[in-house]
Amino acid sequence: MIKQFKIFEAINVGIPEIGDYVICRDEQSKELSLLLAFKIGIINAKNTNPHYQYEISFYSIPKEESYFFAYNNGKFERNFNGYEILYWSKNKKKLQQIIDANKFGL
């Protein structure tokens, strides 16, 4: 049981920073939120726009959902508000554990 709690020790510490891995949601699109629930992105930049503070890149987005993103140098990019970032961590494996737990309803 203690291992379950250790998963959450290294996530959501401080505020999201450039280089952090993230799991996001989208306030305006349920379809996009369902896709993002199982994708890990990385923060590329912080924006000065108060509505979209973070530029986040994703890889391996299905072609059917690629219209939600801008494509740049092999990455699918999109801007997000801070409150749309559900989880963030320097450790990608920690976020993958969250995704795996959600896939299997744990």
Q: What pLDDT does 66 receive?
A: 94
At 21 the pLDDT is: 97
Identity of the residue numbered 68: F
Per DSSP, the residues of 27-60 read: SS-HHHHHHHTT--EEEEEE-S-TT--EEEEESS
Task: Print pLDDT tens along the chain (106 aa).
Answer: 445 555 556 788 889 999 999 999 999 999 999 999 999 999 999 998 888 999 999 998 999 999 999 999 999 999 999 999 999 999 999 999 999 998 887 6
> Distance (Å, rounded) from C-alpha 41 to C-alpha 43?
7
| Residue 21 domain boundaries | 2-103
Q: What is the pLDDT of residue 50?
A: 84
Number of domains present in the structure of the chain: 1
